[in-house]
Amino acid sequence: MSDGLSRRSFLKLAATAGAAAAIPGCEPAARKIIPYVVPDENIIPGVPSYFATTCGECSAGCGIIAKVREGRVIKLEGNPADPISQGAICARGQAALQGVYNPDRLSKPKRRKADGSLEEIGWDEALKLFNDRLAAAAKAGKDRIAYIGAPQGPTLDRLTKLWAGAFGSSRVVFWERIGTEPARAAADACFGRRDLPIYQLDRADVIVSFGADFLETWGSPVEQTRQYADFRTPRMRRGGLSIGKAAYVSPRMGITGAKCDAWVPANPGTEGAVALAVLNVMAGAGSLRHAGTAASAIQAQLAAYDPESVSRKSGVPVSQIKQMADWLGQAESPLALPGGDDPQTYLAAYAINALTGSVGNAMVFLAGAPAETASRPQETSAVVQAIGAGQVDVVVIAAGANPIFTMPASWGAATAIGRAPFVVWFGDAPDDSAQAAQLLIPTHHHLESWRDSAPRAGIYGLGQPVMQPVFPSRVLHDILLESAHLGAGEAAQSITWENAQDAVNAAWQELQSKLGLDPMGAEFWNQMRRNGGSFERAKALNVAFNPDALKGATPARVESESALLLAAFPHPFLYDGRGANKPWLQEIPEPSNQIVWDSWAEIHPETAAQLGLQEHYKSTYLYAGIDVIEIATPSGTLELAVHITPLVKPGVIAAPIGQGHTSYGRYASGRGANLWAFLPAGSRAVPVRARKIERQYKLVTPLGKSDMMGRSIVEVMSVEQLANGIKPPIELEEEENTPKLPYEMYDAWQYTGHKWGMTIDVNACTGCSACVAACYAENNLPFGGKEEVDKGRVMSWIRIERFIPSADEAAAAPNLYIAPVLCQQCDHAPCEPVCPVFASHHTPEGLNAQIYNRCVGTRFCENNCPYKVRRFNWYPAEWPEPLNLQLNPDVTVRGPGVMEKCTFCIQRITNAEIDARTEGRQLVDGEIITACAQACPARAISFGDLNDANSAMVKRRIDNPGRTYTMLPEFNALPAITYLRSLYWEKGKA
């Protein structure tokens, strides 16, 4: 761990190391657990502490709560008080734990020697080097220092600007590759303000998304998933029972397209044109109710976007354009969502929303929107150009910005930064940009830092350290502040704060007065730290739409006649690349294609046939792809293994962004291809040529067959069937095949106390895999890497199953069948009678328990499980230090040779029961929540007591009578989990 441990820290570490060392087998038998001699003030061993902070994994800024045991954070949950997350958290947020405990984090400052290798140096030497260079650059003139860092929240960013200003430089860039510039530019044109609107999907009744993968990476996926689940909940609207209707215009389906009624395959980069064509049709049909007198003017401006010509460019049939226009036109509360990097998509969507009256309802501008954090792309590229032109002496790269990896190739960031005289890199895990640095300085992870965030009006999120730093890193802004005071002298006098924490504290005092609160000082500050921030409802603004904005609509960017288009999309977990060094995010399969640990090229079977690619792997289920193509782009060639799938438009090669790091730790380096390097600035699409090459490369997937074969795993029913009380065909079939009076050899179990069960709403589940990540974190699940997944050894206890409806099913099915599958805790568990040693047995509370210490590893139980939810430890689990600090002390770490499976988080159940017993009371419904249920942004999973008729879980079943089903009922396993059928609109119905 760190050098120079204090006795207190040593005891903390020893206690935790002892708790984590419960591995039998060939490990040394006994390790010592040393109890505290002098107890720490805030720690009761065995009792967790909870700290509220703000997640820093993306710009959504969800509030989270960190569960800390014995001084180390072991689990993250959503903050129920935060309006964005409302208690939920996404997979990326869960994996932040693997960021703070990443084994490849820098622990000592390093300097690059003349031969290019790195040597460790002391802090004093490193900081002296840094400060000397800064001073020299400041003396040499203005603007000779450049800072490229990810946005860190208003206070810290303000600090950074002041620091740079103290050295006479204004070249400060807050860089987010997946940025908001197109949205802001369009908002400026349409509404005269560069704010970002807030979307409230639950207030709409029709949503058409033009390239916005709102359930994956766009905006705030956690918030949008929750809203979308509401949107799709059946409720009475005019005309009867209905659910919201949605369409998704995009080159690839993804899970966003899977959960919409219509996935409209469109060429990448043409989403904006399609949106304008839809607007055109709506204008012609008179659906723009709020257009008023401007209606004809608007129609004239859109003349170039008639459906026929847009259909030719985009590949979207005219009928679909017209249908989307029809949907939006007929809706009471239509909502268009714009995505991608093309401002005209946003123009069109804002126009649709404004002219149909949805602005102020489903799309809202809030008063008091925070100032923009990220720099505009033009400013950023100007700074990069200046660096390349030799106008900058010191380049500071900080806070995970990773410009060399994410900046467009045309900016030449790699060359420019490579040529800069002195590059300093600050961060936690050295990435591709650190390769160009002469000085590397370790700084805290966001979970170890004081910061704040202002994602939208009314929300001021606080970020506080949830534990002592894992590595001997330092606070970035403390270093900056110190260097400002040292080097810039009088120019730094205006900076009154001593360190970052001070600055954040001061910012909160400002907020206090802004909120009109009595400056009671400490009480407010404590309240904020407990809540994780200040969460107020901001007022909606009345904005007026400027019809002239549409004059600026320009033709779609991707105009080429090229046969093939490359559509790059941010990987839902790896995002822009930052998630690649977190093994959970690599091992959890991307939900729509179920591929792990790689980049891939999604190609439609027709296109694949043209390229000479075959699906010869399809029947063996051994891999997801093996042929490799070479893709020639204007910026260079890349090779990608091909995954042939109908979930992408013919003529499009869809490839995920996020892999292809040259250096970013052991889990990320040398894996896949970096798509950013081949994309032009401001677009994620590029015309390409591709050819098959002789190389073979295996794409690994835990998924077997994609065809559900009509089995009762993910059941669906149409809205019409639900509204009219008609049973869907599969239910009728099951009724026919299931004997009316099943013969029971044994008496039924009697549950006098609690009987735990779950209700899972498949309609709400989007496949986002937050539950999977939460389970990995809570239950000490091992990750094996690509080779182990290849051998079929994924250890996830809960998985997202995804099936593609066959041709004859497609008419009566959603776009994809998606559902979470976990141990069903069956009443007639088939796994119980076959275990020879009672390792699998039934508890008095209805769970099927697995006793790890008793398991001899015959693996008979998994053979008999129809759901295949059990997992065998084929290999000894390893967590390279310090990932092992994340392990939950309440859950055994299983050794090799032992079977494991979902336990309904029995450690949480038992802890709650113990607490209740200690306090002499009954358990309250909602007191126990499993990790998966807690994380789910869609609130799809409800856990509770079947013997409690008032529990939310039971109520959910009672309130949805026509939708309940159990998986594979023909096996008569009597699962404790009841699923609620997913709903879809019958094709061709309004």
Partner 1 sequence: MAAAIDTEIQPSYVDVDRQVQRALAPGGLKYWLWVLFCAFLTALGGAFWTNQIYNSFDITGYGQPTMWAVYITNFVFWVGIAHSGTLISAILFLFRVRWRTAIFRLAETMTVFAVATAGLFPLIHLGRVWFFYWLVPYPNERSLQPDFRSPLVWDLFAISTYLTISVLFLFTGLIPDIANARDKAVGWRRTFYSILSFGWQGTDRQWRNFATVYLLLAGFATPLVLSVHSVVSWDFAMTQLPGWHSTIFAPYFVAGAIFSGCALVLTLAIPARRLMKIEGLITIWHLDNLSKVVLLTSVIMTYSYATESFMVWYTQDPIEMATFQQRYYGPQGYMFWMMITCNCAIPLLLFIPRVRTNTVWLFIISIFVNIGMWLERFVIFVGSLSTNADPSQWKFYVPRLTEVIITIGSFGWFLMNFSLFAKFLPIVSMTEMKEGISWLKQAVREVYPYRKAA
- Please identify which residue in the block is written with the tokens 């986002």: 768
Site for partner 1 in 599-628 (CB under 8 A): 619-622
Burial of 745 (C-beta count, 10 Å sphere; 0-12/13-18/19+): exposed
Size of the site for partner 1 (CB under 8 A): 59
Nearer to partner 1, 623 or 697 (CB): 623
Q: How many CB atoms neighbour CB 198 within 10 A? A: 20
Question: Residue 980 Cβ, how far from partner 1 at the closest point, in Å?
Answer: 19
Fill in the per-residue mask, 879 to 918: x = in contact with partner 1 (CB under 8 A), - = not in contact.
Answer: -----------------xxxx-------------------
Nearer Cβ to partner 1, position 13 or 893? 893
Contact 277, 555 (CB under 8 A): no
In the bound state with partner 1, the residue whose beta carbon lies nearer, of 324 and 703, is 703
> For residue 841, what are the β-bridge partners?
849
Which of 506/837 has CB closer to partner 1? 837
**Pattern 837-866, partner 1, x by CB under 8 A:** xx---------------xxxxxxx-xxx-x
**Least separation, in Å, of the C-beta of 714 and partner 1?**
10
Q: How far is the CB of 782 from partner 1 (least distance, A)?
A: 12
Return the DSSP state at 907.
Answer: H
CB of 971 to partner 1, least distance (A): 5
Beta carbon nearer to partner 1, 342 or 862: 862
Query: Which residues are paired to 871 by β-bridges?
Result: 900
Question: At closest approach, how far in Å is the CB of 802 from partner 1?
Answer: 7
271-285 vs 318-330: helix axis angle to the nearest 10?
Answer: 60
Residue among 874, 910, 916, 955 that touches partner 1 (CB under 8 A): 874
Q: Would you say 893 and 873 are in contact if contact means Cβ atoms under 8 Å apart? A: no
Among 21, 81, 386, 968, binds partner 1 (CB under 8 A): 968
CB 832 within 8 A of CB 848: yes
**Would you state the structure tokens that stand for residue 708, as one six-digit string?**
């559900």
| Min CB(836)–partner 1 separation in Å | 4
Smallest gap, in angstroms, from Cβ of residue 925 to partner 1? 31
- What mask of x and - would describe binding to partner 1 in positions 925 to 964, judged by CB under 8 A? ----------------------------------------
Identify the residue among 612, 710, 729, 926 touching partner 1 (CB under 8 A).
710
| 921 class by beta-carbon count within 10 Å (0-12 exposed, 13-18 middle, 19+ buried) | exposed
Contacts of partner 1 in 655-674 (CB under 8 A): none
> Of the candidates 827, 808, 806, which has an alpha carbon nearest to the alpha carbon of residue 817?
806
Nearer to partner 1, 168 or 897 (CB): 897
Q: What is the CA radius of gyration of the chain?
A: 28
DSSP annotation of 661: B
Locus of tokens 């067959």: 705
Q: How far apart are CA 395 and CA 387, in angstroms?
A: 8
Helix (H) or strand (E) holding 119: strand 118-120
Q: Which of 234, 702 has the CB closer to partner 1?
A: 702
Helix axes 476-483, 154-166, angle to 10 degrees: 30
User: Interface with partner 1 by CB under 8 A: which range of 227-235, 474-482, 580-588, 867-875?
Assistant: 867-875
Comparison of 39 and 704: residue with beta carbon closer to partner 1: 704
Selected from 521, 634, 704, 880, the binder of partner 1 by CB under 8 A is: 704
User: In sequence order, what are the residues at sequence separation of 6 or more whose Cβ sits closer than 8 angstroms to the Cβ of residue 711?
Assistant: 968
CB-based burial of residue 558 (10 Å sphere; 0-12 exposed, 13-18 middle, 19+ buried)? buried
Q: CB atoms < 10 A from the CB of 636, how many?
A: 10
3-state secondary structure 801-818: EEECCCCCCHHHCCCCEE
Residue with Cβ nearer partner 1 (50 or 874): 874
Closer to partner 1 by Cβ: residue 314 or 825: 825
Contacts within 8 Å (CB) and 24+ apart, 797-801? 797/822, 797/823, 797/869, 797/871, 797/900, 797/901, 797/902, 798/771, 798/772, 798/822, 798/902, 798/932, 799/702, 799/772, 800/589, 800/591, 800/765, 800/767, 800/769, 800/772, 801/713, 801/714
989 binding partner 1? (CB under 8 A): no
Least distance in angstroms from the C-beta of 804 to partner 1: 11
User: Is 836 among the residues that bind partner 1 (CB under 8 A)?
Assistant: yes
Task: Respond yes or no on whether the N-terminal peptide bond of residue 882 is cis (omega within 30° of 0).
Answer: yes
Does 835 help bind partner 1 (rule: CB under 8 A)? yes
> Which C-beta is closer to partner 1: that of 111 or that of 859?
859
One residue of 214, 783, 872, 943 binding partner 1 per CB under 8 A: 872
Q: Which residues touch 101 (CB under 8 Å, ≥6 apart)? A: 470, 882, 883, 885, 886
HSE-up (13 A, CA, CB side) for residue 398:
26
Residue 451 vs 901, nearer CB to partner 1: 901
Interaction of residue 732 with partner 1, rule CB under 8 A: no
In the complex, the smallest distance separating the C-beta of residue 600 from partner 1, rounded to whole angstroms, is: 19
390: contact with partner 1 by CB under 8 A: no
| Residues composing the chain | 990
**What single DSSP character describes residue 370?**
P
Q: Give CA–CA dist 736/989, Å, rounded.
A: 29
716 binds partner 1, rule: CB under 8 A:
no
Nearer to partner 1 by C-beta: 555 or 969? 969
Q: Which of 71, 533, 702, 767 binds partner 1 (CB under 8 A)?
A: 702
Q: How far is the CB of 736 from partner 1 (least distance, A)?
A: 11
Q: How far apart are CA 53 and CA 446, in angstroms?
A: 9
Name which position in 119, 332, 707, 744 contacts partner 1 (CB under 8 A). Answer: 707
CB of 876 to partner 1, least distance (A): 6
Write the binding mask 778 to 817 for partner 1: x where contact by CB under 8 A, - elsewhere. Answer: ----------x--xxxx------xxx--------------
Q: Find the shortest distance in angstroms from Cβ 972 to partner 1.
A: 9
Half-sphere exposure of 694 (CA within 13 A, CB side): 0
In 3D, which of 583, 509, 520 has the Cα closest to residue 877?
Answer: 583
Check: CB of residue 577 under 8 Å from CB of residue 178. Answer: no
Is 867 one of the binding residues for partner 1 (CB under 8 A)? yes
Q: Is 26 in the site for partner 1 (CB under 8 A)?
A: yes
Q: Which of 185, 241, 486, 834 binds partner 1 (CB under 8 A)?
A: 834
Site for partner 1 contains 711 (CB under 8 A): yes
**Interaction between residue 969 and partner 1 (CB under 8 A):** no
- Candidate residues 92, 144, 871, 901; the one interacting with partner 1 per rule CB under 8 A: 871
Smallest gap from residue 30 Cβ to partner 1 (A): 18
Q: Which CB atom, from 497 or from 617, has the smaller least distance to partner 1?
A: 617
* Three-class DSSP category at 663: coil
Q: Which stretch binds partner 1 (CB under 8 A): 397-405, 471-479, 873-881, 883-891?
A: 873-881
CB of 974 to partner 1, least distance (A): 13
Using CB under 8 A as the binding rule, whether residue 142 contacts partner 1 is answered as no
Residue 77 pairs in a beta bridge with 65
- What are the residues binding partner 1 (CB under 8 A)? 25-26, 619-622, 702-711, 713, 788, 791-794, 801-803, 821, 830, 833-838, 854-860, 862-864, 866-868, 871-876, 896-899, 968, 970-971
